[in-house]
Amino acid sequence: MLNRIILLLAILAMISGCSSDPGPEDPKADETQEAIQLDPQTGIPYATTYQFPIQGFNASDFGFGFGSMNNLICMARDSNGTCVAYGYHLAHDSQVGRTPYGKEVLAPADGIVRITTDITFQGYGSTNRLNSSYYGCAVVLEHEFANGDRFTSLLGHVQCESVTGYDPAARIGNPARGTVVRRGQYVGHIGHYWYGSAKTVDWHHIHWGLKKGAFSPAAYTRTGLRPWVRGYAARSEFSKDPQTGKMTHAEWVDPIDIVKMLGDPALTPDVGVRHHPPGSMLEDEQGAFWLVTGEAVAARLPTDVLTADHYDTSLAARVSQDELDCYAHASDIATLGKVTLYKRPGSNTVVMAYDDRKERYDVIRQEALYSWGYNFQGLTTDAAKIQKCETTYTPRGYRLLRPGTLVKADEESEVSIVTPWQTRRAIGTGEIFEKLGYNWDRVMSVPYDVISSVAGVREAVIVDYDSIFACALPAPCPSEGTCGGGDDPEDYDDGTDDPEAGSEPEANNGQVQTDAGVQPETAPAAETCNGLDDDGNGLIDEIFLCRLGATDGPPCVSSCGSVGQQVCDAPTCSWGTCRPKAENCANTIDDDCNGLVDCADPVCQGTVECQPEPDAGQSDGGTPEASTPEAGNGMSLLRLIYNGPAAPGAIKLFAWWQPPSGPARSWAQVTECVDTLLGDGKLDCVFSVQSGTSPLEFQINLPDGRFWGDQNCSSGGCGSTVGTVSLDGPNGPLTVTLVPNNPNGQPYFNGHVQNVP
């Protein structure tokens, strides 16, 4: 409940700043509407709850989303008529092909009618041959939040029925302007909307938008009303929320977000979960078990595999067939085979040896051993068997927590799930955790210092309401297209020109047609998706989702199942190709998809992680002390804490060091710290260095492009470092001094540690 209140306050703050001037019409409430609460100053109804505008529908029934790009809608063209900026959706559309013609449209909240179907708008009508101009009707309602902020709901693609007398009980006609309606009251019907070359494909849907601010048109004309019925905007009008990655707009809000905050459970259908995060174990209606092995893939767990591989079925979440249908079904999960457990001779390190595969893993902590269904009672003492495993089995690095494990840090409340590619994905709230059907009793807690080492790096993406209510395999469009409506970009009216004035100006004669009209040839060139600053404003590809060729997109699953990074593709400058990352030499994953893992990969030869290591003792069961970083196998686990200016993103730790023997470790990235508590400016990382290293030098690349050790005034701390750093070793804090990056490098410094114990 606290999370709901916090999010509601955030949404109200986002929508604040609206005018409280009364609109041009007075509400005319009758005796049947006495329960509606009106603002005594404005006469506008309060929206105390907010629901879906179609009865029986929920979030999974709305397919084309807020901020989605539609390549059938063009917002700007070059002198050759080529589209250089596509339209981004300002609303949510119900799924085409699943929204019947004539379905009743309901008021999502108590409100007053500001626009009704006595006027039509280009872009909201049927696309059949009988309506070549593409005119259609919409209904707009104005509401107030409890804090006085005003907003409007747009219901587009409805039948034009103003000539019919409005009777909400009989479900006919449309309400007139100034009519006060209650939440759930009938206001119209879904209109015809045909699509395709023959205009015969069922494309009926509701276009449902929510605009911040009061309704105050200069005139009740198509042109005057256009700001309240906009369907699309250029990419340049949107920004990305740094915490959620969602598209945001200064004037328009995703209406489903408001339903989540103000939805009345008695009137809003319960939203069924459609997607569990990768790593989840599921139990279907017949009692069979499944593993979610990817974002859109699930595989069945046969009974014999469940037993042989020690799966804990109490972790399984019960799901319906509808949810299973949201995944592609892969081949059944195969057993990993017989496991031999032993302690390495002269050490407390526990080893999991897979006899069929002739591979072995060092168990990083006892929690990892438990997560794989084993304990210390199963350790073999057969010296010959142990010797065989040590000498003939291929070492595969550390065995971390089993994918699907629910884990948290001792000192924190955030719960994550371990993914199949050995990262951890945070679950946004307790409500989401329970909605997914997880069991609080099965959450494993580990010390904060080691959670990244044991459970993997925290992903930037989190499990939120949007992700669990959306099918991983959404319903296909009835025909080619993006299910977003609109198949005539040549005639699309973006809201600035009155369709009655004639057809849109043609994009020719050396002119550029944009969402601001027609500009002369002397106007700046339109920005195109090419990695260049075409319009000369100092920004590159700024009207697109990403910069062409960029490789810093959201995490994704590469072709071999490792965590990759999305690449910005042409021609739309949107995140597309999933490129494998560089090999991490100590995570038991084939990161670069070359078929070789960790030290078996030639790129890892000569790295510290792949140097021969003498045995060293650990605490019982291979478990490091919880109060200090782990030390063992000739390695020291160091903890770096950065405190500094808040900036979303991750810091990257670069370093070089001289181990006690062998060549120096060349300058390269060591690890990446993700901000676990967004906005607090504190980042915490754990990394390994060989004991006895002397010296160790490091630098921190900050998310905003600056460097921690930079003290100049143009981009650094102007006489001091950008934030502060502390470094803890196995025995406590290490002394960190600043040394010049090079003889002429002042005021740019690296952190320097003379000796690593």
Output the domain CATH number for residue 700: 2.60.40
Domain annotation covers residue 153:
yes
pLDDT higher than 50, residue 620: no
Given a cut of 90, whether residue 166 has pLDDT beyond it is yes
Residue 122 lies in a domain: yes
Residue 730 in contact with residue 692, Cβ under 8 Å? Answer: no
Backbone angles phi, psi at 454, to 5 degrees: -90, -40
pLDDT digits (tens, 9 = 90+) for 530-559: 777 776 666 677 667 677 877 776 667 776
Cα 539 from Cα 642, distance rounded (Å): 30
Q: Is 314 exposed, middle or buried (0-12, 13-18, 19+ CB in 10 A)?
A: exposed
Report pLDDT for 482. 67
* Residue 429 dihedral angles phi and psi, to the nearest 5°: -145, 165
DSSP state of 490: G
Q: In the predicted model, what is the mean pLDDT of residues 628-636?
A: 51
Residue 468, pLDDT > 70, answer yes
- Of 221, 245, 262, the residue at which a domain comes to its end is 262
In this structure, how many other beta carbons lie within 10 angstroms of the beta carbon of residue 393? 18
Cα four-point dihedral sign 240, 245, 250, 252: positive
What's the mean pLDDT in 105-127? Answer: 90
710: confidence class by pLDDT, cuts 50, 70, 90: confident
Distance, C-alpha 429 to centroid of its chain: 15
Closest by CA position to 596, among listed 607, 609, 582: 582
Residue 695 lies in a domain: yes
Rounded to an integer, what is the distance from CA 403 to the centroid of its chain?
20
Confidence at 521, pLDDT banded by 50, 70, 90:
very low
pLDDT (0 to 100) of residue 506: 29
- Mean pLDDT in the chain? 78
Name the residue range of residue 650's domain.
628-753
Question: Which uninterrupted H or E stretch holds 430?
Answer: helix 430-435
The DSSP call for residue 13 is: H
When pLDDT is averaged across residues 297-320 and rounded to a whole number, the result is 93
Residue 379 domain flag: no
- Contact in structure between 14 and 147 (CB atoms under 8 Å): no
> Based on the structure, what is the number of domains in the chain?
2
Q: For residue 748, give Cα distances in angstroms to 599, 710, 721.
A: 35, 5, 9
What local confidence, expressed as pLDDT, does residue 6 receive?
40
Q: Which of 238, 262, 286 delimits the end of a domain?
A: 262
Cα–Cα dist 246/230, whole Å: 20
Q: Which residues lie closer than 8 Å to 120 by C-beta, 6 or more apart?
A: 135, 136, 137, 160, 222
What is the 3-class SS of 334-374, one letter each residue? CCCCCEEEEECCCCCCEEEEECCCCEEEEECCHHHHHHCCC
Ramachandran bin of 633, using left for φ above 0, alpha for ψ from -120 to 50, beta for the remaining angles:
left
Q: Which of 227, 242, 262 is the last residue of a domain?
A: 262
Q: What phi and psi, each to the nearest 5 degrees, are found at residue 717?
A: -90, 5
| Domain assignment of residue 354, yes or no | no
Percent of the chain whose pLDDT exceeds 90: 31
DSSP-derived 3-state class of residue 590: coil
Could you tell me which residues are beta bridge partners of residue 505? none
Instruction: Check residue 597 and give its pLDDT.
Output: 72
Q: Considering only 128-137, 306-315, 423-432, which range has the smallest mean pLDDT?
A: 128-137
CATH number of residue 88's parent domain: 2.70.70.10
740 alpha-carbon distance from chain centroid = 40
Count of helix runs (H) and strand runs (E) in the chain: 10, 47
386 pLDDT band, cuts 50/70/90, is very high
